[in-house]
Amino acid sequence: MVARAISSLLSREPDDMAETAVLETITTAHPSIARLAFNKLHEHRRTLLGGNDAVEKLVMFLLVEYKRVESSRNDRESTVDIILDWLSDEVLRGYGAGEFTRDGLLERFSEDLCFDILRQVGASWGSIRDENTKAILADFTGHFVDALAGEGRSALEPLGSLRFRLSLVARTKGPGALTGLLDRIVDGDVAAFELVAIAMVNVENWTGFETNRQNLGFDTEEWRTAISIEVRERMAAHLTDEFDSYPIDIDDVSNSNRRRLAIFRARTEFGFCGATADV
């Protein structure tokens, strides 16, 4: 049944019965069984690599399933990670074969999902040498750079992916392309400067034998590269001083504490804060 479903999803031998049976298993079974089903499907898919199969139908099948279970990503037995891994592989194949374009992917997927796919393909072993991976990352980097050339703080959106987009610019265009890239947007705009500082705060996950915990970190290198020192010093002086002596609890990952840490780090760099702790 799995073999028939995969052949059908690759448009080799249409088999609605097999697709329906597999889909019913995935959508009605316990998540642990659904994970096994996806692993079995993906395993069989790998045996068919090397052909010229169109992947659009398979991609849409995976996309629908990803959206269905996306809200369960924090559940230990969720299928989100398996689907995203497989979906990223197929999107890369389709892009390399000319089935998908950058603009087509942005239109079909959410921008956030495109970012997740790019993270996935860029993190895989051999991605530095893979021509398809280099091509899709460079293509999207051009889109990001064009967007950052827009007017006002709206050019920074979506803020949640700003650090990733900046790191992609540095990876594909070289570190020099990132130098002072955000100066024009934040210089003279305190709100925009603060937003970028907040975007530099990341949540780090720590997993132990029996515990999982999170705490806040700050991407100092990207912050200091994307905004020149002259602009950082000038704008940091205009940020609120209400957190200058505030005890920052990095175990508090709330949005309000992310803002506290961001402002504290931006002002501490130039001695505006009385505190000296490097949190």
Question: What's the pLDDT at 130?
Answer: 87
Q: Is there a contact between 85 and 66 (Cβ–Cβ < 8 Å)?
A: no
Structure tokens at 187: 């210089």
- Residue 16 in contact with residue 8, Cβ under 8 Å? yes
pLDDT score for 210:
63
* Cα first-last separation, the chain: 55
What are the pLDDT tens digits along the chain (279 aa)? 999 999 999 999 999 999 999 999 999 999 889 999 999 999 999 988 877 889 999 999 999 999 999 988 878 888 999 999 999 999 999 999 999 999 999 999 988 899 999 999 988 766 778 899 999 999 999 999 998 888 888 999 989 899 999 999 999 999 899 999 999 999 999 999 999 999 999 988 776 666 678 899 999 999 999 999 999 999 999 999 999 887 889 999 999 999 999 999 999 999 887 554 444
Q: What residue segments make up the domains of the chain, in order of their start?
A: 1-149, 155-271
State the Cα–Cα distance between residues 260 and 246, nearest whole angstrom.
Answer: 8
pLDDT of 208: 65
Can you give the pLDDT at residue 274?
59
Contact of 163 with 222, CB cutoff 8 Å: yes
pLDDT at 277: 43
Distance, CA of 139 to CA of 273 (rounded, Å)? 42
Phi, psi of 254 (to 5 degrees): -65, 160
Q: State the pLDDT at residue 125.
A: 64
In this prediction, residue 196 carries a pLDDT of: 97
Q: Which residues, at least 6 apart from 64, have a Cβ–Cβ distance to it below 8 Å?
A: none
> What is the DSSP track for the chain?
-HHHHHHHHTTSS--HHHHHHHHHHHHHS-HHHHHHHHHHHHHHHHTTTTS----HHHHHHHHHHHHHHGGGTTSTT-SHHHHHHHHHHHHHHHHHTTS--HHHHHHHS-HHHHHHHHHHHHHSTTTTT-HHHHHHHHHHHHHHHHHHTSSSGGGG-SGGGHHHHHHHHHHHH-GGGGTTTTHHHHTT-HHHHHHHHHHTEEEEEEE-SS-EEEEEEE-HHHHHHHS-HHHHHHHHTTS--TTTT----TT--SHHHHHHHHHHHHHHTTT-SS-----
Q: What does the chain come to in residues? A: 279
73 HSE (CA, 13 A, CB side) = 10
Q: Which amino acid is at 1?
A: M
pLDDT of res. 212: 72
**pLDDT attached to residue 279:** 45
What local confidence, expressed as pLDDT, does residue 199 receive?
97
